[in-house]
Amino acid sequence: MKKTESGLYYKIIENGNGPQPQKGDIVKVHYTGTLLDGTKFDSSVDRGQPLPFKLGVGMVIKGWDEGIAMLHVGDSAKLVIPGELAYGERGAGQLIGPNETLVFHVKLEEIVNTGPFNIEGKEEKNTPSGLKYYIIEEHPDAPMPKPGQKVFVHYTGYLEDGTKFDSSWDRMQPFGFPLGQGRVIKGWDEGIGLLHKGEKARLIIPSHLGYGKQGAGGVIPPDATLIFDVELVDIK
């Protein structure tokens, strides 16, 4: 294994061929964490959901910010993180004691494109209601949500002139709502219902499926067409 100046040990297990993330990028990482004796204390693999976080801004332990920054998308690595780069004297939970050295097997799955998505070469689809959409990333074998199920969606919303008015990625928290129950604008109930879990899409929502003549929040003007770049993260 190699050692950095900070005391982090790392070994690249498998080389990917993707780009390397930069500070401030949102990345998705699959991981399994163990103690030195092999006791597993956490695993995103067991949950089937990689962990998203903003790199280099202290959202994760120091050893992760340093170690993940050295990887390229698709790389798998082993990180051995001393206590001072992990949870320090306070430890964490029931299993991680004070100054505990931690071992992580990690894979950098993705540098998240939070928008705007590139729709060049993507098929434009239209529904009878007037909704227009493009599938950016397909997962046709994954499940689709049914009305009443709770869905979790990451999104960035734009006006037609490109002005961003909202993004769940800025909060690092996907938005959850029961599908088809009128809890969101009509274009969302319809558009999210067209997706499979894990898919990314651009929804172009005319005003009658959005906020109509009243607009919203002083940010969305009356009769505005809205553009949402979305990812259906999970279905419960």
- 171 burial type by CB count under 10 A (0-12 exposed, 13-18 middle, 19+ buried): exposed
Assess whether 26 carries a catalytic annotation. no
**Which of 25, 42, 166, 189 is the catalytic position?**
166
Note if 166 is an active site residue: yes
Q: Is 228 a catalytic residue?
A: yes
Closest listed residue to residue 65, CA positions, set 13, 3, 21, 125: 21
Residue 54 to residue 85: CA distance in whole angstroms:
17
Out of 9, 41, 165, 177, which one is annotated catalytic? 165
Q: Is 152 annotated in the active site?
A: no
User: One of 87, 117, 133, 228 is an active-site residue; which one?
Assistant: 228
- 10 catalytic? Reply is no
Distance of CA 89 to the CA centre of its chain: 31
Could you confirm whether 119 is annotated as catalytic? Answer: no
Q: Which of 135, 185, 204, 227 is catalytic?
A: 185
CA distances from 158 to 3, 163, 223 (A): 44, 5, 14
Enumerate residues 6+ apart whose C-beta is below 8 A from 142. Answer: 196, 197, 198, 199
Among the options 104, 133, 152, 211, which is catalytic? 211
Tokens (6 digits) for 230:
């979305």
- Classified as helix, coil or strand, 24 is coil
Residue positions annotated with a catalytic role: 155, 165-166, 185, 211, 228
